[in-house]
Structures are given as C-alpha cells and as structure tokens.
Copies of this chain bind each other. A is one copy, B any other.
Amino acid sequence: MELPIRISKDSREPIYHQIVNQFKALIAGGHLSAGTPLPSIRALSKDLEISIITTRRAYQDLEVQGFIRTLQGKGTFVADIAESLKQEVKVTSVHNILENAVETALSYDYNLSQVKEIFLNILQDKEKGDK
C-alpha cells in the first residue's frame, strides 16, 4: 500500500512529528479506516529513508493519542475511533492550520483582501493541476 507520507528534512519540525501529523490527517480524514494495517516501522523507515526508531517514535505518539494500535510481533493497525472524534480532529486541525496560515500572511503585511486573492489563485492552480 502506497501512502502519501512525505517528510521534509529542510523543515525544523522533528521528523517523527511530521509523520504523526500526516497519519493523523489520513485517519481523521477517513482515508485509513479502522483495522487497516499500517506499514511496519521497517517498511516505513525504508520508504522515508529514516531510522526505524524515528518511525517507532511516530507510531508511539499516535498510539498514545488513540489513533492506532500496535501488537508486538504482529503489526500496527488503525484504531477504531468514534466518527465524532474523527470529525472533531478534522475540523479543528484544518481550521487551526488555515487560521495560522492567515495570521502568518498578515504578519507579512498583506491585508485580508490580498490574502484572499493569493489563496484563490492557489486553489485555481490546484484545480487546473487536478485535471
């Protein structure tokens, strides 16, 4: 199974944390349903060219937060999460991300109209790119 997990080594955000956020998005967004097996820490670490301890750290955080379950010798699976919780994570996370992006754009001395225009341009580019 090919997962859209990517890490940026340029980012100062810890690698394990990038992985956590991306899996959270996939799970809360419904891309990965309950019971689905995740790649093993070895498979993922090879895929991302990082240490298995780094992928394990990410899986540990996800497990502590209740998104996945791991069984020694068996593997890691998407946990059974209440739809309401998934929805809450989805709505809250996306809202926070977009709001932070707006705040940052405003700190560059753009005004709301300009931010809106730039954003709509990006959406347009994405729409064209999808075709």
Q: With A and B bound together, what is the CA distance between A85 and B49 in angstroms?
A: 35
A107 touching B26 in the complex, CB below 8 Å, given contacts A112-B126, A123-B116:
yes
Tell yes or no: A109 within 8 A of B by CB.
yes
State how many copies of this chain the complex holds. 2
With a cutoff of 8 Å between Cβ atoms, the chain B residues found around residue A100 in the complex are: 101
- Give the total of A residues in contact with B, Cβ under 8 Å: 41
On whether the beta carbons of B31 and A109 are closer than 8 Å, the reply is yes
CB-based contact A107/B13 at 8 Å: no
Query: Which residues of B sit under 8 angstroms from A98, Cβ to Cβ?
Result: 101, 105, 115, 118-119, 122
Residues of A within 8 A of B (CB): 4, 12-14, 17, 21-22, 25-26, 28-31, 90, 93-95, 97-102, 104-110, 112, 115-116, 118-120, 122-123, 126-127, 130
